[in-house]
Homo-oligomer: A and B are copies of this chain.
Amino acid sequence: MHSFSAISDLYQQKRDSLVFPLTPSNLYGSINYFLDLPGKRIRPALCLMANELFTPIRSDSYRIAHAIDLFHNFTLIHDDIMDRSPLRRGRPTLHTKYDEGTAILAGDTLFIYCYLLLNKVDLIHRTHIVELFSETAKQVCEGQQMDIDLEKMEMDAVHYADYLEMITRKTSVLLGCAAQCGAIMGGANEQQQISLYEFGKNIGIAFQIQDDYLDTFGLTARTGKQVGGDILENKKTVLLVKAFEVADFKQKIMLKEAFLQTGQDKVQAVINSYKALEVDQWATKAIESYTAIAFGNLEEIDVPVFKKEKLIKRKS
């Protein structure tokens, strides 16, 4: 069993073997630019580690991991356009550095490469893998649409259940898909596949809630982002949604007033409201709870415990 960092290195070596054409230079130059941005490559690593729970890593697993990684980058490129984000990981987003048309096309082209990779997967597994990948991709698009729709709603009108459904589709199912694809390639049975899908999905939900939590309550050094960025943008985070859900009439007015302020005063006022409503504590518990569910999913799988350790260590 490889560790997360060892498997990331392995993946990186395989990934580098895909070389894009030179022309049109704007199209492929922009793709190379975006793929070279630093990233944690959690999804491909999860796919390979799930395979290794059962058998040595198969060459098809690298292809699938690569397709999932390219798909993730495709969604980031298109999401950045929709969100009008100027920066990603501290560097200009693709549509900022190039133009919007090129960014749309770069995303589309990456998506085609996903299927060119999947089209090399052994025929015995291909139908299942392409079906799972495509159904997941559809859910990711649906989740992004739900996000667009939620962002247009009034702050106090978003239900937590809808927010949860949105983040599940937008980000978590892809982790579930990555883990299940690895399991399929490792020859896992149906129950093991489902357990790994659920593991990935629940870890994904925990990650997403943690992302929102750290943006408001984390330290800049850890996240690399300005603390309070979500508050300044009135972003509909899990904290905002939950706060409005638990607040009484008076507290809702206070919350709305806090969001009407500007700059650091606004950040502090909203944080004070969140703390008064104990949504910080609620979020910490929710992260723990989804992580525990994910580890429970892993426990269900009947392979020796030492094989699962690397997957658990990744999280801790």
Contact = CB atoms under 8 A, between A and B. Distances in A.
Given A82-B100, A104-B104, A138 B119 contact: no
A123 B23 CA distance: 33
Contact of A148 (B23, B81, B99, B134): B99
B142 A24 contact: yes
A137 interface: yes
Contact of A137 (B99, B101, B112, B137): B112
B119 A104 contact: no
A229 B233 CA distance: 41
A154 interface: no
Contacts of A127: 119, 123
Oligomer: number of copies: 2
A226 interface: no
A127 B122 CA distance: 10
A81 B104 contact: yes
Q: Assign chain A's interface to a size class.
A: 35 or more
Contacts of A101: 81-82, 144-145, 148
Given A78-B108, A109-B138, A24 B116 contact: no
Contacts of A24: 142, 145-146, 149
Nearest to A101: B82
B141 A108 contact: yes
Which of A26, A81, A82, A148 has most B Cβ within 10 Å?
A: A148
Contact of A123 (B108, B123, B145): B123
A4 interface: no
Given A81-B100, A81-B101, A99-B148, 6 more contacts: A23-B142, A24-B142, A27-B141, A27-B142, A108-B111, A123-B127
13 contacts: A24-B146, A26-B149, A105-B141, A105-B144, A108-B108, A109-B141, A112-B137, A115-B115, A115-B134, A116-B131, A119-B127, A119-B130, A126-B126
Interface of A: 23-24, 26-27, 78, 81-82, 99-102, 104-105, 107-109, 111-113, 115-116, 119, 123, 126-127, 130-131, 134-135, 137-138, 141-142, 144-146, 148-149
